[in-house]
Structure formats: structure tokens, C-alpha cells
Amino acid sequence: MELLKEKWKFGRRFVYSVTYDEGLEALLGDTLAIHQRFGIPGHVSMVSAQVGKVRTVKGSTFEGMMHLSAKQIHELRALGWGVSCHGMNHHAITPESAREEVVEARKVLEDALGIPITMFIVPGNNNSYPASRAVAEEAGYLSILTIWDALNDHDTDLLRLHRTPLIEEGFDPFGSAYDPYCRLHEALERGGWICEYTHIARTPVVSAQKEVRVETLIRRFEKVEQVGGDQVWKADPVDVVDYIIVHRAASIEAIANDRFRLKVEGLPDGVQNRELTLRCEGMPPSAQILADGRPVEKVSVIGKDVLITLPARDGLEITVRERK
């Protein structure tokens, strides 16, 4: 009998996430309804100084639109959505501005929302990444999301995570329509994590290189379900980062043929969701799994294996015994 860590939560083969830069109040219309329909949590990246305010970023496509309020953000969180920081004022980040735009921005956003903020999403383009990275760890962030288009995996640098554009048209000079199958088969084959970015879904679009039509978002989510089925973990990016960190920090020690001890070392304080999915291989059909002597009720049976998702606590003992 063997107890193993599962790569992704619930034993899923790959992960799919969507982020919305700026956190516009208009998301609460069609965009939220589509997410609810498909059971996909979203994620809003907020400009710290403009929570609950009219957008005043000079030259922005969304100038004059309202940002989500703290109350609205908490309502989204209750639906499984996540939150990150998108800079203090959405300015380009340089070594001179990084302390305000990255470090101070985190504290301002945490104070406004009353929740931990552990993810930073680079505003504008990747030119702002180097200066953001230089102060990110000092600021207390566990991850940074960029707009480098690639899959993420367990060995991806958490302070340089990739995001794939979910936009109606590609950037010049490579103008192209959005592919609803984008990276899905690659993620399924490689067991990777697709993290997409956009701003809002609405029809008609105002900026084809920043947003998608309602019909496009629906078709995309239909393909996620078609390709992924029950093999895709639809997740908030913060939860995915937490899972990767927990997975890296955890190891399993066999202390008897039917007893195991979970070791969790060096887990950062900022990790909010500390669950880990484990696979018990070759478990007898009549056996029962105990965690610190208590029966584990929520299990998934896959062939001769059993999956369990538990709080990852150092010293947790897991026992497999005959059911009484």
C-alpha cells in the first residue's frame, strides 16, 4: 500500500483559471452570470487606490467606469472568486515607483478589503515586471502574474507566472481571432495550468485587444467543459498557487504498512488554503482511512485507488484499517 501526493487538487489532470484586470463593477452583469452558469470562479485584480471609485487612469479604455467596491468584492469572494493587487495607480512600474506601486499598494488594498493579498498582477505590459519582482518578496507577495503566454506547472517560478490572453483579437502585428480551444489540449496532455486574462465580457466590445464578447466567453467555457470534463480543476489562481506551495512543502513518511505521517516544512504564513489531495494506492475495498484517528468521510474512489483531500498539517497521521 502506498500514499502519494496528487499533482492537482481533487486528482484533476489540469487547471483552468480566469483573471479580470482592473476589477470593473460591470463584471457583475453578463460576465458573472456566465461564470455562475459554468461553475468557474473568476479573479479580480484591483487598483489599490481606486477600490469603489470611478476609474481615472489616464488614457485607459475603461476611463469613467466604476471599480468594484469592498462590499461587492466580498460578495464575489463568497462565490469563490479571488483578489489580487494590480498596482497602486496602474502606473508603469520602475525602480523609482516600485515601492509605492507594489509594496505600499498591498497594504492599502489589504486595509480597504480586510483580507490578505498575496498575489500581484503586473499592470500594463511586461516592461513593469523586473521592478515589480525586485520588491515583491519584501512586500510579502507569494506570486506574480505576468502576460507571458505559456502554461504554468509545478516547476514554474511563482514570481513569474504566465497568463494567456482571453481577448477578442490578438495584438499587432499578429492580429487573430480568439481560439476557443486555446491551450486546452496542451494542458490536458501535459497536466498544466492555464491562467487567462481579460477585462470584461460584453457585446459589443469597446477594445477587442482587452476584452471579449459575451458569446466568446460562453464558447470558451463550453470548450473547457468539453475538453476537460471532470478532469479539469476550475480554480481561483490564488488557490492554485497555495496548492503548489503546500505540495512543495509536504512529504509523506511511512511509519508502518498501514500508517503514514505527513510532514509539512517551511510553509509561508501567507498561504491561505492549506489543503492537499492524497492518493492511497492498492487500498482494500473493505478498508477505511483515518486522519489523526478520525474517519475521513469525503473520499473519491478511482479503480483500486482512493483520493482524499485534507488540511496539510505537519505531523498529521493517516491510517488505513479494516472497516468495523
Confidence (pTM): 0.95
Describe the crossing of helices 214-228 and 30-38 by its angle, rounded to 10 degrees: 10
Cell numbers found for residue 306: 482512493
Per-domain residue ranges for the chain?
A: 15-231, 242-322
In angstroms, rounded to a whole number, what is the distance separating the alpha carbons of residues 246 and 208? 38
Q: What is the per-residue pLDDT for 147?
A: 93
Per-residue pLDDT reduced to its tens digit, 42-90: 999 999 999 999 998 777 889 899 999 999 999 999 999 999 999 999 9
Q: What is the per-residue pLDDT for 261?
A: 97
Q: Which of 313, 315, 250, 306 has the alpha carbon at shortest distance from 1?
A: 306
Question: Strands 232-234 and 193-198, how do they pair?
Answer: unpaired
Residue 130 contacts by C-beta under 8 Å, 6 or more apart in sequence?
none
Torsional sign, CA 281, 282, 286, 289:
negative
Q: What is the per-residue pLDDT for 287?
A: 79
Q: What is the per-residue pLDDT for 309?
A: 96
3-state per-residue secondary structure call for 257-304: CCEEEEEECCCCCCCCCCEEEEEEECCCCCEEEEECCEECCCEEEECC
Does residue 18 contact residue 40 with C-beta atoms inside 8 Å? yes
Q: What is the per-residue pLDDT for 131?
A: 97
* CATH 3.20.20.370 at 15-231, yes or no: yes
Per-residue pLDDT reduced to its tens digit, 239-268: 999 999 999 999 999 998 889 999 999 999
Q: What is the per-residue pLDDT for 22?
A: 95
> Which residue numbers in the chain have pLDDT < 70?
285, 323-324
